Structure 1
Amino acid sequence: MPRKTAVLEQPQVSNLVRELRQLMALSQEQFAARLGVAYSTINRWENGHMQPSPLALKQIKAVLNEMNHSPMAEVQERSQKLLDKYFPEAEPS
């Protein structure tokens, strides 16, 4: 059975992008650079005007998984909460 890609609807996507960006303490411009997308793309995601592509969602999930291995317990905890909330099918890492 092929693995299903997570499909998030608005306002979940807006919330996920905003919460992750805030957890990383990045501006929209900085977060865009981190994901390799334009600032306007992040802005549209957060404002609910556009959905991230499946590839972009995969990148966002990868960033969360990375943060889940942070030496800071609070970052680990908050990133795990976001994974559980927005990617409930995610396997524990």
Structure 2
Amino acid sequence: MNLDEAIKRVRSDMGLSQEALARELHVGFTSVNRWENGHTKPNQIARHALIKLCKENNIEPELIEIIEKIR
């Protein structure tokens, strides 16, 4: 599984729309959309916020690991 699929799966597992995830992470909707479409990757701040949100919501460790490997 690659990063865009992992982000989409995290969002789906949490039952959030792209807009709702964007609000949770304090980023724009277009950022989440671009991540899920593989056009861009989350910056360091967004990545840390996403990892924290995943851990707080007991998301599968495998998905968190994919997100943590972003460089």
**Shorter-chain TM band:** 0.7 to 0.9
Pick from 17, 26, 45 the counterpart of residue 55 of structure 1. Answer: 45
CA-to-aligned-CA distance 1:22-71 (integer Å, 9 cap, x gap): 01111111111111111001000000111111121111110111012xxx
Q: Where does the alignment leave 5 or more consecutive residues of structure 2 unmatched?
A: none
- After TM superposition, the structure 1 stretch with the greater mean CA deviation from structure 2, 23-32 or 11-20, is 11-20
Matches within 5 A, 1:24-43: 24-43=14-33
In the alignment, the residues of structure 2 paired with residue 35 and residue 64 of structure 1 have an alpha-carbon distance, to the nearest angstrom, of 11
* 8 A contact 1:12–1:86 mirrored in 2: yes
Who is 2:63 aligned against?
Answer: 82
CA RMSD across the alignment:
2.1
Runs of 4+ off more than 3 Å: none
Q: How many residues align?
A: 69
Give 1 or 2: higher helix fraction: 2
Give the fraction of aligned pairs with identical amino acids, expressed as a percent.
30
**What TM-score results when the alignment is normalised by the length of structure 1?**
0.64
Letter in 2 for 1:32: A
